[in-house]
Chains A and B, each alone.
Chain A
Amino acid sequence: MSLRSFAAADSVAVAAASASAGRLRRAARRWRYASNTGRILLYAVLLVWTFTPIYNIVMIALEHEGDVYGSNIVPVQPSLDSFWVVFSQGYWYLEHFWEQFGNSAFIAGMVTFLVLLIGSLTSFTVGRMRLRNGWLLTNAALLTYVIPASFLAIPFYLIMNHYGLANNPWSVIAALVTFATPYAIFIFQEYGRSIPIELDESARIDGASPLHIYLRIYLPLMAPALVAVGTYALLLAWNEYLYQFLLLSDKRSMTVPVALAQFLNSDVAPWNYMMATAIIYALPPIATYYAFRHRMSSGLTMGGVKG
């Protein structure tokens, strides 16, 4: 075999190889192109899906009352009048709006505080002080966590009436604390495992009382978990409707969601005012959520999966 034929064979092989490499590259490019297009399409669908109801709230809040009953999909004469009406309580359904907003804020604040307090105290005794049979407490929490709150609403309502706590924000606070604390206990237990117990022990040897250890060592080190759970409790209180609706019926003691739902039952629901109210009500939790988003989602999955 001559050198030339070698070279020829070689060049054929190279050509074949480069042809197939080219084919592969083209296929890869086509695949990448297709998958990118697919991804863009998927994102577009997700955006439309996510934002249509939100766009709907904003659109109606910007409309005049007459235009709500129309066939348009963009506001005809957008204006901020509805927001002004809500701010100035200038509609008879809204005459106590700020008071109701205050009630919502008070309930959410108290729930957050009590959930953090009771949850951290409980997980401190179970996880750090190792109270004997502490697992009973953890199991009680787990059990509460898996009971649907709406199934307990009727007896809870009757009991609260029995105690004379109807129309009292504390009845709602009690309900919400009950249903939010179990989650707090899990997260604190789980997070507490990452804090060395030796810290507590050395403080104990130095003569620190449990209260001192709780305040000076436990709480500061638990700060990230406290933020996660605090955000969770705040959002839970802001999301809740059923208990607030059952327990608060007086116009001045009710919260914003209860007042909003009352609009819905009136004969001519002023949809633009409702939506403006809804937006104002939705802003604080959205802001809180985005501020503490990373903390919260890491809190949600502390412990994660075990392979």
Chain B
Amino acid sequence: MTVATVLDVGPPAPRRGRSFWRYWRGNLKGSEFTWALAFSVPYIAVFLAFVVYPVFYGLWMGSAPALYAEVFSDVIYRDTVINTLIFVALGVNLKLFLALLLSGVFMRPGRVTKVMLMLFVLPWAVPQLPAFISLHWMLNGEWGLLNNALWILGGIEGPSWLNERWTALGCAIASHLWKWTPFWTVILLAGRMSIPQDIYDAAKVDGATGLNSFLFVTFPLLSNLYLVLTLLATIFLLGDFNTVFFVTGGGPNNETHLLATLGIRNAFDLARPDLGVAAVMTALPVLIPLVIILMRRMKTAEVQL
């Protein structure tokens, strides 16, 4: 899929029935064209029924302007927007920066590194729900493992992490990092591995070692991938429901909701689906430009994920 094919398809010129079909058929022979249609019908059906229809249904549900007045007047919504901004900004950047550094650590040859990498990716393989339930209980101020360990090993009385807005939000971000940093590390590791060794050798001859080889070889070559991953991670994080839902439950007092969890809360706890959709829709002015940039980048850069 390159830009070239988009261009040389040209504008469709269906005049009459026959030429319309001839245009779509292209160079496929009679029965082959039927097969091609039959093969692409399942995905077209899935896309229309489960993407296009819900999207338009959602747009229709959230189309009343009065809803937005209601959404914006909600104090919880304002907190939620701030939380979402913090969660996304810190979550994406910390996660990718850590992944970038760790992928360098795991580049080192040797069995110890291999074993470490295998252990390090375990959180990725653990399903989200067991992991986040465990983190939720671990962070319990009274009986949780974290505070027990702090008390026994260091004599420190830990705070009740989940009962205060900012510590709770911090815990949600940390939980997200725990679950997802391995995934991005593996991707960046593969990115690093695809850089040919000759480039490093050439740079070495020119005197670039250590930090310099990272700054002048690795980073420029990875920057495009890094940018695409940043955009992708931003979109994924905007839609992240499970972390906050299970680690903080949106609490205390609905102070740590994200847009994704607030939408579900409005729709099901308050039984106001339209209000839920409206809350989520307020992310569209940010989401749509991101999607457009990302779709272009992914196509031209041929970075696949």
Q: How far is the CA of A73 from the CA of B151 in the complex (A)?
A: 10
On whether the beta carbons of B263 and A154 are closer than 8 Å, the reply is yes
Interface-facing stretch out of A1-9, A94-102, A126-134: A126-134
Task: Indicate if A271 sits at the interface (CB-CB under 8 A).
Answer: yes
The B109-167 residues at the A interface (CB cut-off 8 A) are: 112, 116, 118-131, 133-138, 142-143, 145-146, 148-149, 151-152
On whether the beta carbons of B129 and A300 are closer than 8 Å, the reply is no
Q: Which residues of A contact B295 (CB under 8 A)?
A: 139, 142-143, 146
Q: Which residues of B contact A130 (CB under 8 A)?
A: 26-28
On whether the beta carbons of A238 and B195 are closer than 8 Å, the reply is no
Task: Indicate if B304 sits at the interface (CB-CB under 8 A).
Answer: yes
On whether the beta carbons of B46 and A118 are closer than 8 Å, the reply is yes
Interface-facing stretch out of A21-29, A46-54, A80-88: A46-54
On whether the beta carbons of A147 and B42 are closer than 8 Å, the reply is no
Q: How many A-B residue pairs have CB under 8 A?
A: 300
Closest-CB distance, B195 to chain A (whole angstroms): 7
On whether the beta carbons of B47 and A59 are closer than 8 Å, the reply is no
On whether the beta carbons of B47 and A144 are closer than 8 Å, the reply is yes
Q: Which residues of A contact B222 (CB under 8 A)?
A: 305
Q: How far is the CA of A113 from the CA of B129 in the complex (A)?
A: 23
Question: Which of B129, B190, B195, B260 is in CB contact (< 8 Å) with A278?
Answer: B129
Q: How far is the CA of A211 from the CA of B134 in the complex (A)?
A: 48
Interface-facing stretch out of B69-77, B89-97, B201-209, B234-242: B234-242
Interface of B is mostly: helix
Q: Which residues of B contact A282 (CB under 8 A)?
A: 126-127, 130-131
On whether the beta carbons of B43 and A148 are closer than 8 Å, the reply is no
Nearest-neighbor residue (CB-CB) of A304 within chain B: B194
Q: How far is the CA of A200 from the CA of B128 in the complex (A)?
A: 42
Closest-CB distance, B182 to chain A (whole angstroms): 8
On whether the beta carbons of B264 and A260 are closer than 8 Å, the reply is no
Q: Which residues of A contact B246 (CB under 8 A)?
A: 261, 264
On whether the beta carbons of B133 and A59 are closer than 8 Å, the reply is no
Q: How far is the CA of A261 from the CA of B241 in the complex (A)?
A: 14
Q: How far is the CA of A147 from the CA of B260 in the complex (A)?
A: 12
Q: How many residues of B contact A (CB 8 A)?
A: 105
Q: Which residues of A contact B120 (CB under 8 A)?
A: 46, 50
Closest-CB distance, A144 to chain B (whole angstroms): 5
On whether the beta carbons of A150 and B263 are closer than 8 Å, the reply is yes
Given A57-B130, A135-B6, A148-B235, also A303-B46 (CB < 8 A): no
Over the window 118-161 of chain A, the binary record of Cβ atoms lying under 8 Å from chain B Cβ atoms (1 yes, 0 no) is: 11011011100111111101111111101111111111111100
The B254-305 residues at the A interface (CB cut-off 8 A) are: 260, 263-264, 267-268, 273, 276-277, 280, 283, 287, 290-291, 294-295, 298-299, 301-305
On whether the beta carbons of A154 and B58 are closer than 8 Å, the reply is yes
Task: Indicate if B40 sits at the interface (CB-CB under 8 A).
Answer: yes
Q: How far is the CA of A45 from the CA of B39 in the complex (A)?
A: 51
On whether the beta carbons of B304 and A50 are closer than 8 Å, the reply is no
Task: Indicate if A274 sits at the interface (CB-CB under 8 A).
Answer: yes
Q: Which residues of A contact B260 (CB under 8 A)?
A: 148, 150-151
Q: How far is the CA of A53 from the CA of B133 in the complex (A)?
A: 9
On whether the beta carbons of A305 and B291 are closer than 8 Å, the reply is no
Task: Indicate if A111 sits at the interface (CB-CB under 8 A).
Answer: no
Closest-CB distance, B95 to chain A (whole angstroms): 13
Task: Indicate if A77 sits at the interface (CB-CB under 8 A).
Answer: no
Question: Which of B42, B236, B280 is in CB contact (< 8 Å) with A121?
Answer: B42
**Most-contacted residue by chain B among A122, A138, A183, A211 (CB, 10 A):** A122
Question: Which of B27, B39, B277 is in CB contact (< 8 Å) with A214?
Answer: B39
Q: How far is the CA of A300 from the CA of B9 in the complex (A)?
A: 30
The B36-55 residues at the A interface (CB cut-off 8 A) are: 36, 39-40, 42-44, 46-47, 49-51, 53-55
Q: Which residues of B contact A209 (CB under 8 A)?
A: 31-32, 35
Task: Indicate if B251 sits at the interface (CB-CB under 8 A).
Answer: no
Task: Indicate if B178 sits at the interface (CB-CB under 8 A).
Answer: yes
Q: Which residues of B contact A73 (CB under 8 A)?
A: 145, 148-149, 152
Nearest-neighbor residue (CB-CB) of A149 within chain B: B239
Nearest-neighbor residue (CB-CB) of A142 within chain B: B295
Question: Which of A54, A70, A132 is in CB contact (< 8 Å) with B126?
Answer: A54
14 contacts between A and B (CB under 8 A): A50-B178, A54-B123, A68-B143, A129-B36, A140-B47, A141-B47, A148-B236, A151-B263, A152-B51, A155-B55, A158-B273, A209-B35, A241-B242, A260-B130
